Amino acid sequence: MRRELPRFTLIELLVVIAIIAILASMLLPSLSIARENGRRAVCQSQLKQLYLGLYMYNEENGRLPQYKNANFQRWHDPLVLGEYMNYTAPMDFSTTFMRCPTVPGDGYVYSYGVNYFNVFSFDHWYGAGPGGLLHTSRALERVPVTTYLVADALTDAIYTPTYGTWALVVDYDGDGIADSYAMNQPYNMFAPRHNNNGDMLFTDGAVKTKRGVDFALNDGDLWGTYARP
């Protein structure tokens, strides 16, 4: 006589499925955070690569590169930083050195922005007279270690609100703190994209994590000053 094997009832199957669904809902956020932490580690490594390039440029030229020079080349142009970053044509400088892995492949290609213009300036800045110091990016050794150089951003410049322009007058995230110049310029283009945190590169080569509110409140005097000593 054949012995009949025990079978799951429909209710038991539904219970098992429910348990699996609960476990998946608990694990997926942790996996997502772990993946983002991995991408953030790559982002921090790229910021440190940029620091080495900026450091060597500063050593050779006596100051950091202009945000935009007289030839309308920006600070991250391969003709400006390429020789200091082991760049060789036809390598795409922007996607190799300037894209944070958290940014989607079809996103804006420049993921890192400079501290404009408390540290970086450009030859034709509208507020400085001919030959004025405000035309000139600062020497690295003249910038306090509390002042950020480059950070996660939505474009290649972060409009630091110190000089009297780009003032923080809009509460972008609704927390009651003015944090942006305009709703289409959240945190003046600083991008806290890593689990609501952004990476900032400082003048000593350190990379630190900052929130949008840290930027808005000038935490630790991270904006610096536009003065050119």
The predicted pLDDT at position 20 comes to 79
**pLDDT digit string, tens, across residues 14-69:** 777 877 777 777 766 666 667 777 888 899 999 999 999 999 999 999 999 999 88
* 183 in Cβ contact with 197 (< 8 Å): no
Query: Using an 8 Å Cβ cutoff, are 149 and 53 in contact?
Result: no
Average pLDDT over residues 105-113: 77
Provide the mean pLDDT of the chain.
Answer: 85
Q: What distance in Å separates the CA atoms of residue 92 and residue 76, rounded to the nearest whole number?
A: 12
DSSP state, residue 109: S
**pLDDT for res 225:** 87
Can you give the pTM of this predicted structure?
A: 0.82
Q: Look up residue 157 and give its amino acid.
A: A
For 139-174, the pLDDT digits (tens) are 999 999 999 999 999 999 999 987 667 899 999 999
Q: Is 70 exceeded by the pLDDT of residue 88?
A: yes
66 Ramachandran zone, left/alpha/beta (phi>0; psi -120 to 50): beta
Residue 226 pLDDT more than 60? yes
Cα separation, 227 vs 219, in Å, equals 19
Contact 94, 105 (CB under 8 A): no
pLDDT at position 129: 46
Residue 149's nearest CA partner among 208, 106, 92, 100 is 208
- What pLDDT is recorded for position 114? 96
Q: What is the mean pLDDT of residues 98-121?
A: 85
Any idea where the domains of the chain sit in the sequence?
Answer: 11-221
Longest dimension (CA), the chain: 104
Pairwise CA distance, residues 103 & 81, whole Å: 22
**Rounded Cα–Cα distance for residues 149 and 82 (Å):** 18
Please report where in the chains the tokens 């391969």 appear, as a residue: 78
DSSP assignment of 5-57: PP---HHHHHHHHHHHHHHHHHHHHHHHHHHHHHHHHHHHHHHHHHHHHHHHH
Q: Per-residue confidence at 120, pLDDT binned at 50, 70, 90?
A: very high
Query: Per-residue pLDDT for 208 more than 90?
Result: yes
**To which residue do tokens 């790229």 refer?**
46
Report d(CA 217, CA 172) in Å as an integer: 14
Handedness of CA 191, 227, 131, 82 (dihedral sign): negative
The token pair that represents 15 in the structure block: 């219970």
